[in-house]
């Protein structure tokens, strides 16, 4: 659902960070905000409880490259991971273009990871979309905590759909893996956008070919009528 | 996908100009329900980032609507917040967009509400028409879609 504005020459994408409670979604945005140059970022807004748990969402607007005169803008959101906030997660997912699924690598969080992933799929279906249409990547966070589950196992339980998506290991508190993840999802969105535009370009060519054919035909018909 | 052609964007702006002139509100935003701005008009103070305003407004409007729905109220279409100096009116345009009007002591809620009804209709018609328009292709070129391209830079890890 990217938004294209031909007057401001802007293309906007909405990226949502999803995952179980305390997996590190907000920490990803905090780190991104600390690194991106002033000119390319807005304020990081957090609607959180007094205990720093996300209550509604975090929001960080980023301006990326200008391509062929079009500014590309990425709006990053996090959802609240706590199970009880599902109604809020559904609101935040509205018009999403891309998803970063952040998982907690600790063994005892595996069930919550799986549950949260299922919840993401269900909430997308409620919006009439699915992970077949929405580009996404996976981040296995908290690799610094003792005895994290191995990546191939995490891939096996969380990255097991028809198409394996890019996955990254992360330590969001120190920034490790955070930009690799962000760049991967941003690139997927731009690539999808480029593909869709190619299709639109082909359609347009077909349309103009058909309309000139129609003009030619009506010319023949007119000539026939005159005869 | 909301696509604002030059014509559609012009139509939205025209509706906002009319509305602001008649209602004497301070500024107004058309916000896609996902939180992005579709159009804006009026004097937005430098201290306000409209991108953030629209993300928050879409969230609060959606949350209030959801509360209304859960108590069995389906007719909920506008939300008014009264402050000391400035007031806010949020109105539903259609399933995809909402209108946020910020106004001060120069005018009244009654007037703003009255003129917003016409503006909402006009905007809904522009958006409806824009929906049918074919997409004008934009060629982004390979430099950004290339697998090796980094959209965002991380200064502290630059080598
Ligand atoms: N050791 C370690 N701690 C982390 C890491 N990432 C995040 N944390 C910590 O985990 C806690 C929760 O992180 P948040 O970013 O608030 O988690 P969240 O996913 O936003 O949680 P909710 O808002 O409840 O959904 C914080 O204390 C973070 O500092 C990591 O990679 N390693
Ligand atoms: Mg959080």
Query: Is B1 a member of any domain?
Result: no
Non-local CB neighbours of B94 within 8 Å, separated by 6+ positions: B124, B127, B128
Options 3.20.170.30, 3.30.200.20, 3.30.70.890, 3.40.50.300; CATH for A3-206 is 3.40.50.300
Assess if residue B39 is contained within a domain. Answer: yes
Quick count: other Cβ atoms within 10 Å of Cβ B139? 11
Say how far apart CA B13 and CA B31 lie, in whole Å. Answer: 13
Report which of B82, B79, B78 is spatially closest to residue B103, judged by C-alpha positions. Answer: B82
Q: Is A171 in the pocket of ligand 1 (CB under 6 A)?
A: yes
pLDDT score, position A156:
97
Residues 6+ apart with CB under 8 A from A31: A172, A173, A175, A178
pLDDT at residue A222, rounded to an integer:
43
* A206 vs A156: which has the higher pLDDT: A156
pLDDT more than 70, % of chain A: 91
Domain limits for position B101? 6-157
B113 belongs to a structural domain: yes
Residue B147 to residue A186: CA distance in whole angstroms: 11
Quickly count helices (H) and strands (E) in chain A.
Answer: 5, 8
What is the pLDDT at residue A5?
A: 87
Rounded to an integer, what distance in angstroms lies between the CA atom of residue A126 and that of residue B131?
22
Domain map of chain A by residue range?
3-206
Which residue's CA lies nearest to atom 30 of ligand 1? Answer: A142
What would the pLDDT profile of B14-34 be if each residue is shown by its tens digit? 999 999 999 999 999 999 999
pLDDT of residue A224: 44
Measured in angstroms, the CA of B107 and the nearest CA of chain A are apart by 30
Q: Tell me whether residues B155 and A193 touch, CB distance under 8 A.
A: no
B159/A contact by beta carbon, under 8 A: no
**pLDDT one digit per residue (tens) for chain B, 159 residues:** 577 888 899 999 999 999 999 999 999 999 999 999 999 999 999 999 999 999 999 999 999 988 888 898 877 788 898 888 899 999 999 989 999 999 999 999 999 999 999 999 999 999 998 887 777 778 777 767 777 778 898 888 755
C-alpha of residue A86 to centroid of ligand 1, in Å = 19
Each residue's pLDDT tens digit, A92-111:
999 999 999 999 999 999 99
Which regions of A37-148 does DSSP assign to beta strands (E)?
45-48, 54-67, 70-78, 98-104, 136-141
Q: Is the pLDDT of residue A225 over 50?
A: no
* Partner-chain residue, chosen from A61, A179, A204, that has the shortest CB–CB distance to B52: A61
Does ligand 1 come within 6 angstroms of the Cβ of A198? no
For ligand 1, whether the C-beta of A20 sits within 6 Å is no
Residue B32 inside a domain? The answer is yes
Total domains in chain B come to: 1
Question: Quick one: average pLDDT of A78-82?
Answer: 96
- DSSP strand pairing (B78-81 vs B87-92): antiparallel
Q: Is A144 in the pocket of ligand 1 (CB under 6 A)?
A: yes
- Ligand 2 centroid to Cα of residue A81, in Å, is 7
pLDDT tier at A227, thresholds 50, 70, 90: very low
Residue B158's pLDDT is 57
* ipTM for the assembly: 0.87
Does B4 contact A47 at a Cβ distance shorter than 8 Å? Answer: no
User: Domain holding B142: CATH number?
Assistant: 3.30.450.30
């Amino acid at each position: 659902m990217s938004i294209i504005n031909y007057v401001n020459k802007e293309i906007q994408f909405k990226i949502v960070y999803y995952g179980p409670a305390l997996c590190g979604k907000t920490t990803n945005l905090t780190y991104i905000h600390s690194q991106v140059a002033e000119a390319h970022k807005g304020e990081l807004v957090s609607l959180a409880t007094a205990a720093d748990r996300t209550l509604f969402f975090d929001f960080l607007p980023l301006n990326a490259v200008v391509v062929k005169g079009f500014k590309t803008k990425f709006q990053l959101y996090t959802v609240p991971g706590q199970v009880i906030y599902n109604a809020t997660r559904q609101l935040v997912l509205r018009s999403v273009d891309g998803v970063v699924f952040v998982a907690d690598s600790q063994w005892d969080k595996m069930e919550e990871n799986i549950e949260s992933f299922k919840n993401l799929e269900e909430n997308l279906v409620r919006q009439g979309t699915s992970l077949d249409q929405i580009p996404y990547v996976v981040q296995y966070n908290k690799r610094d905590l003792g005895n994290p589950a191995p990546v191939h196992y995490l891939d096996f339980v969380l990255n097991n759909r028809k198409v394996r998506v890019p996955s990254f290991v992360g330590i969001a508190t120190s920034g490790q893996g955070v930009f690799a993840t962000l760049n991967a999802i941003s690139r997927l969105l731009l690539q999808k956008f480029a593909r869709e535009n190619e299709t639109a370009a082909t359609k347009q060519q077909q349309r103009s070919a058909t309309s000139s054919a129609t003009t030619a035909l009506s010319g023949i018909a007119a000539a026939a009528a005159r005869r | 996908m909301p696509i604002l052609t030059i014509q559609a964007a012009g139509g939205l702006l025209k509706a906002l100009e009319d509305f602001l002139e008649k209602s004497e509100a301070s500024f107004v935003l058309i916000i896609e329900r996902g939180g992005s701005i579709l159009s804006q008009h009026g004097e937005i103070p430098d201290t306000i980032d409209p991108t953030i305003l629209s993300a928050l407004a879409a969230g609060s409007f959606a949350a209030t609507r959801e509360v209304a729905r859960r108590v069995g109220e389906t007719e909920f279409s506008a939300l008014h917040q009264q402050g000391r100096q400035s007031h806010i009116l949020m109105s539903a345009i259609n399933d995809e967009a909402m209108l946020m009007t910020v106004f001060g002591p120069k005018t009244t809620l009654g007037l703003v509400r009255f003129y917003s009804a016409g503006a909402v209709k006009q905007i809904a018609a522009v958006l409806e028409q824009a929906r049918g328009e074919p997409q004008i292709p934009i060629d982004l070129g390979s430099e950004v879609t290339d697998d090796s391209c980094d959209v965002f830079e991380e200064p502290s890890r630059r080598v």
